[in-house]
Amino acid sequence: MKQADPYLTLTINGETVRLKEVSPTTTLLEYLRNSGRIGTKEGCGDGDCGACTIALIASGSDGKPHYQAMNSCLIPLGSVAGREVVTVEGLSQGQLHPVQVAMVETGGSQCGYCTPGFVMSMFAAYYDRTLKDACVEGNLCRCTGYLAIRRAAQMIAEDQPSDRFSERLEHTNSNLSEISYGVSYNGNAQHFYRPTQLQKVLQILQQSSNATLIAGGTDLGLEISYHRREFPVMVSLEAVTELQALEETPDFVKIGSAVTLSQIEDNLRGVFPSLDEMLYWFAARQVRNRATLGGNLGTASPIADLPPVLLSLDAELNIASLAGERTLPLVDFFKGYRQTDLQPGEVIVSVKIPKHQGAHRFSQSYKVGKRGTDDISIVSAAFTIDLDDDRRILQARLAYGGVAATPARAIAIEAFLVGKIWDFATVRQAKLLLREAFTPLSDLRGSADYRNRLVANLFEKFFVEFSPNEVKS
């Protein structure tokens, strides 16, 4: 690892900014506002409102540079070292940007507090030609109402952008280089590493017992912005080549732990329906542009949405340390509330999901939250059922989030189902058992009884969607 650099360099609206003596865990939003770039607003400070949205040039699902909307309140400055940021101040040059013109013409802004965030989400979508409702799913407006904002998006959705911003994308290299930034901040030494090789990550972990891995930072970002937690040594996984790989063969899919959810969404669409469905409801665009699969597993949150899907598909993890690599079925990974089987010095490298070869597989996932997108689950569930030609259940996987200290499979009910006919009588019996399968907590999102009912009723919903009539022999 090269020697620590005392400068942290990034580009904001085309201008190179060299920062010294800043904490690498200062959020990008804090920095922007403290440096006078107050167009970017702070609403919630935890990724929920989109007021702080900026566009970052980053590799898209096709490996090419794209403007990507992100929440600047969740991004530590270290994560944007060497990168290009566009804020709302950078859009107009003498005349308003077409997105701004559209917002003005449709009356898409009243108090204007949310407006810079909407504009930046639409700006990113404008250059991707994906201007539709989904591009602003992570932006809240409390006074204009969404109709005018939708009209603004519709007004320019067919534009073929050709301007200084599209030109900039042509001439930008979004590959990330190695970073080693060190600072003494408020009397405490802080170090932000961004290695490009896995071996270097493992070496840093061995040398620094207090090192924290950061991928997209959408979970850790809350610790930084909300809980003001200090991280003396951070190791970013964003540039590590081995963790970025996405491989699909006839037998399996292997997803690098640092592949973002947006990339998974785009590149694996249609391969695993339950994964498609869960990603659709996962957070919002700004979060999915940064969040990774490794981070979703690394949080070990009982309400993380992807573990149930992966458990229902019998995924396994590839884990590395300086001692070598090991493979672990995901079902053995979660050990307790926010605890995993990861040992000090270990990193999740990839997740392997086997593809099913047989004829009769039904697989789907469900998420129940208070609101559609950008909400965490009350209960999430993912089911996979394999049948023989006579509709007899060969294998069942019923996995849930939000009902135990960890994401969990209903293993006893899976065993009960094997050998039974996939019909309503079987499902009715399974539902009775499922009502008793877990002992969830009651909290402000839902009571234990409600959760137990969801555990059973979601399975029935799955049966109704994939009824025996659909089995083709």
Q: State the residues that interact with ligand FES by CB under 6 A.
A: 42-45, 47-52, 71, 73, 109-115, 141-144
C-beta of 221 vs 401, nearer to ligand FES: 221
Tell me phi and psi for residue 153, to 5 degrees.
-65, -45
Burial 245-254 (b: 16+ CB within 10 A, else e): ebeeeeeebb
Residue 13: count of CB within 10 angstroms of its CB: 16
C-beta of 263 vs 384, nearer to ligand FAD: 263
- Is 305 an interacting residue with respect to ligand FAD (CB under 6 A)? yes
Both tokens assigned to 21? 């003596």
C-beta of 84 vs 305, nearer to ligand FAD: 305
Residue whose entry in the numeric block shows the structure tokens 């700004």: 286
- Is 318 an interacting residue with respect to ligand FAD (CB under 6 A)? no
Nearest-approach distance from CB 118 to ligand FES, in angstroms:
7
C-beta of 17 vs 222, nearer to ligand FES: 222
Site for ligand FAD in 41-60 (CB under 6 A): 46-48
From ligand FES, ligand FAD, none, interface partner of 347 (C-beta below 5 to 8 A by class) = ligand FAD
Nearest-approach distance from CB 315 to ligand FAD, in angstroms:
14
Both tokens assigned to 350? 């990839």
Nearest-approach distance from CB 470 to ligand FAD, in angstroms:
29
- Is 69 in a helix, a strand, or coil? strand
Binding mask 347-386 for ligand FAD (x = CB under 6 A): xx-------------------------x-x----------
Antiparallel, parallel or unpaired: β 7-12 and 84-86: parallel
Closest CA to 118 of 98, 105, 103: 103
Nearest-approach distance from CB 89 to ligand FES, in angstroms:
17
- d(CA 86, CA 342) in angstroms, rounded, equals 37
- Is 208 an interacting residue with respect to ligand FAD (CB under 6 A)? no
Site for ligand FAD in 146-175 (CB under 6 A): none
Nearest-approach distance from CB 319 to ligand FAD, in angstroms:
8
Helices and strands per DSSP (H, E), number in the chain: 15, 20
C-beta of 32 vs 291, nearer to ligand FAD: 291
Nearest-approach distance from CB 225 to ligand FES, in angstroms:
8
DSSP states of 243-262: GS-EEE-SSEEEEETT-BHH
Nearest-approach distance from CB 96 to ligand FES, in angstroms:
17
Crossing angle of the two packed helices 448-465 and 424-435, in degrees rounded to 10 = 160
| 122: CB partners within 8 A, 6+ apart | 99, 102, 103, 131, 135, 136, 152, 153
C-beta of 46 vs 89, nearer to ligand FAD: 46
Alpha helices in 208-281 (DSSP H): 220-225, 261-267, 273-281
Answer yes or no: are the C-beta atoms of 442 and 378 closer than 8 Å: no
Nearest-approach distance from CB 138 to ligand FES, in angstroms:
7
- Is 241 an interacting residue with respect to ligand FAD (CB under 6 A)? no
- Is 426 an interacting residue with respect to ligand FAD (CB under 6 A)? no
From ligand FES, ligand FAD, none, interface partner of 67 (C-beta below 5 to 8 A by class) = none
Answer yes or no: are the C-beta atoms of 242 and 198 closer than 8 Å: yes
Binding site for ligand FAD (CB under 6 A): 46-48, 74, 212-220, 222, 237, 257, 282-283, 287, 290-292, 294-296, 298-299, 304-305, 342, 347-348, 374, 376
